[in-house]
Amino acid sequence: MKNPISRRKFIKGGLASATIVFGFPTIIPSSAIAQSGKAPNSRVNVGCIGVGPQGRGVMGGFLGLPDAQVVALCDVAKINLDAATNMVKQKYQQDSVSTYHDFRELLARKDIDAVLIATPDHWHVYVALAAANAGKDMYVEKPLGLSLEEDKILRKTIQQKKRIFQFGTQQRSSREFRQACELVRNGYIGELNQINVWSAASHPGGSTKPVPPPEGLDYDFWLGPAPQTPYTDNKCFDNIPPGGWKTWWFNYDYALGFIAGWGVHPLDIAYWAYPDMMKQPFQLFGRAIIPTEGACNTAVAWDINFEFPSNVKMRFKGTPNGFNQKIDMNNFSEWESIYGKIADHGTGFNGTKGWIMVRRGEIRTNPESLATQKIGDNETKLIQSSNHVKNFVDSVKSRKPSICPIEDAVYADTLCHLSDIASRLQRRLSWNPKKEEFIKDKEANAKLKLRSMRKPWKIRA
C-alpha cells in the first residue's frame, strides 16, 4: 500500500476536529489543489471511495475508459477492498494498486483528480464535502443526503470550489429516458396534466439481535457519524451469510429507505421532463406503512401526492418488496389500465393528447409513433449521453457541467425528502422551492435540518 503520509500521523493531526475540512490546508498546499481541471486530452486519475457491489459496478465504468485510470481504492471492509483490488489488477495487468482504509488519506493524494463516492448513504455528503475541500471532482452515488440541509451545504461548497459533480442517476444517460423527457418538454403528448412515479419500496424485517461484526470490517468507522448501535446480521453486507440482504438500506439511521434509494431514479426523470415543478410553491400530502419491528424501519408502502400550481399533479407510490399485504398504496391496477403491465419502477406522463411510460430498457407511448419520433433541430433537446461515467470524465476534462450536476441532484433529492416527510406527518404541506422550506410549518421544517452526528464527526455549514 502506497500512502503519502502515515495513517497514524494523519489521524492524530486531522481527526481531532473531524469536520468537513479536517485541517486540509495544513496537509495539502493550496497550490496543489486543481483549479482549472484537466487538459482535454489528458488522463483523469480516479480514486474510488466505497467499493462494495455498487461501487465496483460504477468503478467498472472507469476501468473501461482509455482516458481514465483508477489509481486508488478505499473501503473499511476487507472483503470489498480485496474484490475491487482484483478487478483493477485484472484490468490493468499490474501487480498492485494503492489501497486505503481512511478516505482522508486517499483525498490527500495530489495526483488524484476525481473520486467515485459509493459509500453507504449516511457517508455520501460527508465524504463529498471532504473531496470538494481537497480540490477533487466527484461522481456521487445516489441518493444524496440524510437531510436537505446536508444537500444544500454540499451544493454551496461544490459551487464555491468550482468542482465537477455527477449524480449517480444514470437513467439520464439512457436513450429511452432522454426520448421520453424530450417528448414531454416539446408538447408531443399535449398539455401535461399527470405524472405517475413508482419504485421498489423498502424491505421489512431484519434481525435486531446483536452479533460480532464480520472479520475484516471496521464497524466503528463504518458507523462514522451515525448513532452507536450494535452490529446485527447482514447490516452491512448482502453476501454474509449467502442469500442475505443488507438491512442498512432500509434503516433510518443510515438511509431514508427506498423512497429515496430507488425512488430518486424515477423522480429525477419526472423532474427532468418537467423542471417547472420547482419554480413555484406547491402542495403535497401522503401516507406510508413504516414497520415498527425488525431492523428495517423505512416505508414499505407509500402514496405521495404533489399538486403544482400549473394544474399538473404527480403521484408517487412504492411497489412491493417483501411487504406482501395487498393495500391501496401498492395497488397499481389503475395505472396498468393505462400503461399495461408495469415493473417495479417507472415514470408515466399523461397529457391531453397521449401518454408516455418509461422504465429501464423500455418506452411505451400512446400514440405508438411517439416512441421513435425525431426531435427537431429547433426543438428543446437535452444533453445527450450514452455513458454516465464517460460523461463525467468528459466534464472533468472540459469543465462543462455533467448531465446531472449538483443543482439537479439537489432538486431530485428534495423530492425524496419531501416524500419521506409527507409520509411521516401524513397531512397537507406547502413547499416554497425558492426558499427551500415549508410554508408556515415549524414541525415540517425541523425535519429538513442536519441530523445530530456521533462525535467527533460533524458537518460545518
The residues, ordered by sequence, that sit 6+ positions from 287 with a Cβ below 8 Å of its Cβ are 302, 303, 329, 423, 426
Q: How far is residue 297's CA from residue 229's CA, in Å, rounded to a whole number?
A: 15
pLDDT score recorded for residue 39: 66
**Which residue range forms the structural domain that includes residue 415?**
174-204+255-383+406-446
Helices within 167-307 (DSSP H only): 175-185, 219-223, 258-261, 264-273
Helix (H) or strand (E) holding 285: strand 282-289
Amino acid at residue number 193? N
Q: How far is residue 421's CA from residue 109's CA, in Å, rounded to a whole number?
A: 39
With beta carbons less than 8 A apart as the criterion, state whether 247 and 234 touch.
Answer: yes
With beta carbons less than 8 A apart as the criterion, state whether 177 and 404 touch.
Answer: no
Residue 161 and residue 192 in one domain: no
Residue 85 and residue 164 in one domain: yes
- State the pTM of this model: 0.92
**What CATH number did the domain enclosing 439 receive?**
3.30.360.10
pLDDT score recorded for residue 356: 98
According to DSSP, the β-strands at 98-100 and 68-74 are parallel
Domains held by the chain: number: 2
Residue 335 and residue 442 in one domain: yes
Establish if 460 belongs to a structural domain. no
pLDDT score recorded for residue 460: 73
Residue 100 and residue 140 in one domain: yes
Amino acid at residue number 5? I
pLDDT score recorded for residue 65: 98
Q: How far is residue 203's CA from residue 215's CA, in Å, rounded to a whole number?
A: 26
Ranges of residues in the chain with a pLDDT under 50 are 1-36
Establish if 249 belongs to a structural domain. no
Establish if 89 belongs to a structural domain. yes
**Burial of residue 31 (number of CB atoms within 10 Å: 0-12, 13-18, 19+):** exposed
Residue 345 and residue 200 in one domain: yes
Residue 167 and residue 297 in one domain: no
Residue 414 and residue 323 in one domain: yes
For 142-179, write each residue's pLDDT tens digit.
999 999 999 999 999 999 999 999 999 999 999 999 99
Establish if 240 belongs to a structural domain. no
Task: Single out the residue in 124, 147, 171 at which a domain terminates.
Answer: 171
Q: How far is residue 347's CA from residue 308's CA, in Å, rounded to a whole number?
A: 17
Residue 272 and residue 136 in one domain: no
With beta carbons less than 8 A apart as the criterion, state whether 224 and 126 touch.
Answer: yes
Q: Which three cell numbers stand for residue 203?
A: 424491505
Secondary structure (3-state) at 432: strand
Task: Single out the residue in 171, 195, 213 at which a domain terminates.
Answer: 171
Q: How far is residue 398's CA from residue 115's CA, in Å, rounded to a whole number?
A: 17
Residue 165 and residue 284 in one domain: no
With beta carbons less than 8 A apart as the criterion, state whether 50 and 412 touch.
Answer: no
Residue 76 and residue 104 in one domain: yes
Establish if 428 belongs to a structural domain. yes
Where does 75-205 show beta strands of DSSP type E?
98-100, 114-117, 137-140, 165-167, 192-200
Establish if 308 belongs to a structural domain. yes
The partner residues of 438 in beta bridges, in order of sequence, read 431
- Quick one: the chain helix, strand, coil %, rounded to 5? 35, 20, 45
Amino acid at residue number 327? I
Residue 359 and residue 342 in one domain: yes
Establish if 379 belongs to a structural domain. yes
Residue 297 and residue 274 in one domain: yes
| Angle in degrees, CA 312, 313, 315, rounded to 5 | 155
**What CATH number did the domain enclosing 66 receive?**
3.40.50.720
Establish if 334 belongs to a structural domain. yes
